[in-house]
Structure 1
Amino acid sequence: MEMIIINSLLRKKSIEQLLTETQGKAALKKTLGALDLTMLGIGAIIGTGIFVLTGVAAAKYAGPGLILSFIISGIACAFAALVYAEFASSIPVAGSAYTYSYVSLGEFMAWIIGWDLILEYLLAASTVSIGWSGYFQMLLSGFGIHLPVWATGALGSSPGAIFNLPAVVIALVITLLLSMGVKEAARFNNIIVFVKLAAIILFIVVASRYVKPANWTPFLPFGFKGVLGGAAVVFFAYIGFDAVSTAAEEVKDPKRDMPIGIIASLVVCTALYIIVSLILTGIVPYQQLDVAAPVAFALNYIHQDWAAGIISLGAIGGITTVLLVMLYGQTRVFFAMSRDGLLPRIFSHVHPKHQTPFLSTWLTGIVVAIIAGVTPINTVAELVNIGTLSAFVFVSMGVMVLRKTQPDLHRSFRVPWVPLVPILAAFFCLFLMFQLPLITWIRFVVWLVIGLAIYFGYGIHHSTLAKPESNNP
């Protein structure tokens, strides 16, 4: 009996089996190219991190040394991005890290990673919805429009607040867009990404003239420990490049386009983060940056109010695209796990007209809307990073395993210096995980326990690999 259970936990899907499943009536429509993927990555990465977290990280953790925090997190993501690029080009199937783990580490580890990704995307989308609501209400107040107090936030977030209505509305609107088709969603994303990139460039051009090097002294007011703590916080700003890999099954030429989309989006965003953090801490003393909208605040600080208004619009657009990609990533992971039988098969049904996982898209959107409507932002934001980092660790392990077990697999993109780069990726991610507070770890363990109960109660018995006709490798 014990041997049967162990064999079940270690069973793997073959790459041929995965690719076969992407054909036929259950297939997702292949419509995306390299530019779509790059814009998808930028859409996911640039948003809450640059428009919100920069201020908190500078004021409470790193001071002007925030640039080092971004560089450290960027290095960790760069190593992980190389690993993702190899997997995504070799195994162009929906599911991202979950699918890669299923091939390389076996079903049990795949479930753990998939469950982590559900945590990451659900809570990231909820966090971003709440952040969008904050910026939207600021924009309305600029026109003298104020929502009823009860509709401005979750119960306990502010006096009189009961329900965050704008957060719920934006989550459902983006869900509707995603359910209509991935090409339509990508087209919308591309337009908004251009808008927010223009807003960031405007900030750089306008604010760079007001930089005072004296504001960079002391450069490390909280010491290097503060820089590391800041790196763990701003890691949230990089979450998104991995969401590009969830689109692999809907890409026209994944072997060429997936590495381009993943790496290009990360390079562009890292450069912008470094430039913006330098300018931000150069024009405003870091102690004053602990505000909800630090980029707009910095422009107000130098009396460039006209530009601050444009930046607020860019921030709303930026946060909207992050929400779109987070919801998109969640639905594709959900779709892949359901298609494998680890979750009910109904969630992998593809709409005959839109060729999208219609039911799982709406289920995800409704859950995100509920969480965003009734939960304060600080409660949901903390868990996102640890779920993502753990997924990066296991994917880094998986690429080393697959190099050993399937050395002849055609890889149009190969991670350089294996096993050094995957080991460094895992090390950096583990290091950042241990910078997170104990309560985050406790909540993470509770989430994993719930996941294990679902897997052993349902998934292990309903897995497609548990069926006699399944071609187990």
Structure 2
Amino acid sequence: MEENLKKVLRTPEVLLIGINGVVGGGIFLLPGQVAKLAGHNAVWAYLVAGIIAILIGLSFAEASSMFTKTGGAMVYTEAAMGKTVSFTVGWMSWLTYVAGWAALSNGFFSYLSSLFPVIAPYKNIIIIVVIGLLCLLNTFGVRRGSGAIVFFSIAKLIPLLLLIVIGLIHFTGSPGAASVMTGGGFGKAVLVLIFAYGGFEMATIPAGEMVNPRKTVSVAVIGTLVGVTLFYMLIQIAATHLDPALATAKAPLAAAGKAMFAGGLTVMTVGAVLSIFGTKSGVALAAPRQLYAIARDGGLPGVFGFISEGQKTPVVAIWTTGILVMIAATTGTFNTLVLLNVAARVYEYLLVCVSVIVLRFKDKNAERPFRLPFGILIPVVAGILCIWLLAQEAGQQLGVALIALVIGLVLYVLTKVIGRQPSTGR
């Protein structure tokens, strides 16, 4: 199916899509867990996790520089290993977005209802309305959708930047920190943080709508991961300065905000609401385009690849994804939705690393505006780290991901079989 999308996204917008995809609601809960697991080495856990994420991101950057089509990882894996493998990557990536968007919707309402308790009885209605509004926004054009991402990315970063500035000048050298940060779980802290970096791949999805995709994607992916690593490290340092008992706090950045100034607790709570909504807006942009790309390449019925004449957006994919997210968000629990999100994302990362290795041998002379040094060493190391991450997963998580993968393959086979059936007109 030929692409007919408007090419309007430039590097700054795509960079913000990547940053927005990574810096989400999780950062408002993350520092306490890391402090508890890694103790005084917490900040270095961010660095190690960031390095691992950067190695994976570098593989994405080389692969993305070879292509200009919308679809991200599934485009790279198709070129390396064929349509069936490509479909599994696209399918699992899309399900990751659907589950993540639904989980974020539940988290968003939790924060919002803490500010306005009167809305508690209307949870499902509010979740559906917010999801519908994001779908509507993206129906009317990718620039409007990316514009929302730019706004919420900036808005949610303000309280975090405020926390960093005040926290760094608030240092008192309090010895109390040692009594609550026991450490001893550095490796587990790194594992938790790896998933906090998930979402940078959102920047690779709408390549068909970028002005200069080969340059833009590589800059956005690397810039996102380097910037987020430094940002996370500064947040951890600042939050620890403000609240030495960070490891015991249920909402660590809210507790740190309370120590900033009168009203700081409210500021950080509002920041959490904006952060989660900003991430939701990023998923609302990327997820439907993943479904569109699968249909465009024949993995699902062509109707999902329908482009509206007026706005040139994948309208059927947008609303199909949105409706499924509404159902998942109003019927599933947060933990159930997260189970699918975790293992599926690492599966995608692993196959992208493998694709970079395969393409180095299969298509040696292809143009690579961004080419990794040291041959295949970086994607090999990144792939090994992905396998290690999967080995840390609980059996239940891997089981849920496997069931989802099988369902996707069944749909893929049915689509291919039906597509080959001869038409019998009357």
TM-score interval (norm. to shorter): over 0.9
**Superposition deviation, residue 219 in structure 1:** 9.1
**Superposition deviation, residue 252 in structure 1:** 0.4
Q: Is the 8 A contact 2:112 2:273 kept in 1?
A: yes
Q: Is the 8 A contact 1:58 1:289 kept in 2?
A: no
Gap change, CA 1:80 and 1:461, over 3 Å in 2: farther
Instruction: Look up the match of 1:147.
Output: 119
Instruction: Look up the match of 2:307.
Output: 350
> Using the alignment, how far apart are the partners of 1:318 and 1:376 within structure 2?
20
Instruction: Look up the match of 1:33.
Output: 10
Q: Is the 8 A contact 2:167 2:260 kept in 1?
A: no
The aligned runs of 1:391-410 (5 Å cut-off) are: 391-410=348-367
> Using the alignment, how far apart are the partners of 1:394 and 1:404 within structure 2?
16
Question: Which of 97, 102, 105 lines up with 1:126 in the alignment?
Answer: 102
Ranges in structure 2 where 5+ consecutive residues have no aligned partner: none
**Superposition deviation, residue 218 in structure 1:** 6.5
In the alignment, does 2:268 pair up with 1:296?
Answer: no
**Superposition deviation, residue 63 in structure 1:** 4.2
Gap change, CA 1:76 and 1:42, over 3 Å in 2: same
Gap change, CA 1:416 and 1:216, over 3 Å in 2: farther
Instruction: Look up the match of 1:193.
Output: 153
**Superposition deviation, residue 64 in structure 1:** 4.5
Gap change, CA 1:327 and 1:273, over 3 Å in 2: same
The aligned runs of 1:232-271 (5 Å cut-off) are: 232-271=191-230
Farther-moved stretch of structure 1 (309-318 vs 32-41): 309-318
> Using the alignment, how far apart are the partners of 1:77 and 1:391 within structure 2?
13
Farther-moved stretch of structure 1 (310-319 vs 329-338): 310-319
In the alignment, does 2:271 pair up with 1:314?
Answer: yes
> Using the alignment, how far apart are the partners of 2:269 and 2:228 within structure 1?
19
Instruction: Look up the match of 1:434.
Output: 391
Instruction: Look up the match of 2:129.
Output: 169
Structure 1 residues 339-390: Cα deviation after superposition (integer angstroms, max 9, x where no partner): 1111010010101111110011011011112211222212212321211111
SS in 1 for 2:18: helix
Q: Is the 8 A contact 2:18 2:224 kept in 1?
A: yes
> Using the alignment, how far apart are the partners of 2:246 and 2:65 within structure 1?
42
**Superposition deviation, residue 396 in structure 1:** 0.4
Structure 1 residues 166-221: Cα deviation after superposition (integer angstroms, max 9, x where no partner): 33332222111111111111112112212222221101122334444535437973
Structure 1 residues 410-461: Cα deviation after superposition (integer angstroms, max 9, x where no partner): 1111122221100111112221222222211111121122222222232466
The TM-score, its normalising length taken from structure 2, stands at 0.92
Structure 1 residues 229-282: Cα deviation after superposition (integer angstroms, max 9, x where no partner): 233323332111101000111100112222111111221111111111222234
Gap change, CA 1:399 and 1:353, over 3 Å in 2: same
Q: Is the 8 A contact 1:232 1:433 kept in 2?
A: no
Instruction: Look up the match of 2:139.
Output: 179
> Using the alignment, how far apart are the partners of 2:101 and 2:263 within structure 1?
30
Gap change, CA 1:288 and 1:28, over 3 Å in 2: same
> Using the alignment, how far apart are the partners of 1:313 and 1:27 within structure 2?
39
In the alignment, does 2:179 pair up with 1:221?
Answer: no
SS in 1 for 2:54: helix
> Using the alignment, how far apart are the partners of 1:272 and 1:210 within structure 2?
18
Instruction: Look up the match of 1:276.
Output: 235
**Superposition deviation, residue 320 in structure 1:** 1.4
> Using the alignment, how far apart are the partners of 2:147 and 2:40 within structure 1?
37
> Using the alignment, how far apart are the partners of 1:62 and 1:126 within structure 2?
30
> Using the alignment, how far apart are the partners of 2:346 and 2:304 within structure 1?
26
Instruction: Look up the match of 2:296.
Output: 339
Match for 2:368: what amino acid?
R
Ranges in structure 1 where 5+ consecutive residues have no aligned partner: 1-20, 153-163, 468-473
Count of residue pairs brought into register by the alignment: 420
> Using the alignment, how far apart are the partners of 1:244 and 1:192 within structure 2?
16
Q: Is the 8 A contact 2:148 2:281 kept in 1?
A: no
Alignment RMSD (CA, Å): 2.2
> Using the alignment, how far apart are the partners of 1:75 and 1:238 within structure 2?
11
SS in 2 for 1:147: helix
Question: Which of 41, 51, 64 lines up with 2:28 in the alignment?
Answer: 51
Percent of residue pairs identical? 26
